[in-house]
Structure 1
């Protein structure tokens, strides 16, 4: 399980949920790990300390993904602290839902800033440090990019669908530089923000083919595959890890 030995990974929004699961899995496979957080300093440091206890280096950096300068500085700090940057996981996101008529400009702006601009900004900053070849950029999308089963998802669905175009465009641009770019679309996943025992969980799980929520570790496993040597020939892809939600 040392396929990522010697690699350095940065996960945005890595203090909980899928982001934390990705951080743990990449560290388990040998990577030193940097994670960003906005407000959850205690939880982010707990993740970092758990990774350190496993024998890997880890760092938690505060950065609001809506702030391009702060995000770029976090990427540069990761590379400067550990001497390189090989893997970027664009995980941080916000989830604003509601009727079109009620959506405020501030909600629209923040959703697009965090869910669309931030992955592009972080990718731009990260690729400067991926000069050895073999770099990996992996973004976390959503099953609702293709199937919005409830009203009120238009803004969020739009923001995640934008990542498809970004992934394809960057894959074509960065392929000659030895960097792959991929997108993982999780289905309903058991996290604090969307618990498998929540009020609408039974209905949501019923939209999948397997009839259940994913564990965050199941999403992280696909990210780890794309980040490792076995994922070297995969780029420009949108991979659904959604239990058949979009089947």
Structure 2
């Protein structure tokens, strides 16, 4: 295997949880492919943060709602660093609408990015990951995939699906030395632009505060590190006690 350092691909890494994950993996010694959708400036800021940790970074912009872009992203990632050791599927969209107003096109848009893309990117990455001595895939789920939420039928369904996908992939990929897990963030303090989702107003947790993107990133780093090689097919909740599964 070429490349002196392990390499990670983090989708949706332009900001918030994705950025924190990319930086944390860099701190753990990974070179990082920073995937972004359309915001090249935000993705570049993440890459600069990775470089400040002493690792290499490359930005790749791609619309993962396009199936062909998923395979292309992985091919470009492997070509960049000559290897792939970690894949974090974080990219997603979280629109809100009453159930009866969600169109089939809107439903499919959410599924394409939040559920289809993790399947397609992971599938494209298997061959490269299988060459790694410590390969790991982590899906980033969501608390509402376990609790439900109003105005988010499409998002809730996609996030719940990621848990099942992780379990199925863990079975199929264990013989190839690839662990597959899901990290489930709860209420996390992030930049949401237009404001917090409707369901956030009623959410409470035992910690009495919102979590940070860095706390989610720590969980991801654990599942991608050498200390977690005996952990696969699991859902790790980072929610301050909002849900005790």
Q: Distance in 2 between matches of 1:74 and 1:225?
A: 25
Per-residue deviation, 1:54: 2.6
- Report 1:98-247 matches (<5 A): 98-132=97-131, 133-148=133-148, 150-193=149-192, 203-204=201-202, 206-247=203-244
Q: Alpha-carbon deviations, 1:45-95, whole Å to 9, x = none?
A: 111122123321000101111011112111111111101000000000010
Q: Alpha-carbon deviations, 1:120-157, whole Å to 9, x = none?
A: 00100111101324210000000011112x42122211
| Contact 2:145/2:157 (<8 A) preserved | yes
Q: Distance in 1 between matches of 2:11 and 2:139?
A: 10
2:9 counterpart residue number: 10
Per-residue deviation, 1:100: 1.3
2:62 counterpart residue number: 63
RMSD across aligned positions (CA): 1.8
Q: 1:193 to 1:115 in 2, by over 3 A?
A: same
Q: 1:202 to 1:69 in 2, by over 3 A?
A: closer
Secondary structure at 1:76's aligned position in 2?
Answer: helix
Q: Distance in 2 between matches of 1:157 and 1:46?
A: 30
Q: Distance in 2 between matches of 1:136 and 1:126?
A: 11
Secondary structure at 1:172's aligned position in 2?
Answer: helix
Per-residue deviation, 1:6: 1.9
Q: Distance in 2 between matches of 1:167 and 1:145?
A: 14
Secondary structure at 2:92's aligned position in 1?
Answer: coil
Per-residue deviation, 1:191: 0.8
Query: Which sections of structure 1, spanning at least 5 residues, go unmatched?
Result: none
Per-residue deviation, 1:200: 6.4
Secondary structure at 1:24's aligned position in 2?
Answer: helix
Q: Distance in 2 between matches of 1:11 and 1:25?
A: 11
Q: Distance in 2 between matches of 1:156 and 1:69?
A: 23
Aligned residues: 240
Q: Distance in 2 between matches of 1:14 and 1:156?
A: 19
Q: Distance in 2 between matches of 1:111 and 1:198?
A: 18
Secondary structure at 1:240's aligned position in 2?
Answer: strand
TM-score normalized with structure 2 length: 0.93
| Contact 2:86/2:135 (<8 A) preserved | yes
| Contact 2:96/2:197 (<8 A) preserved | no
Q: 1:194 to 1:160 in 2, by over 3 A?
A: farther
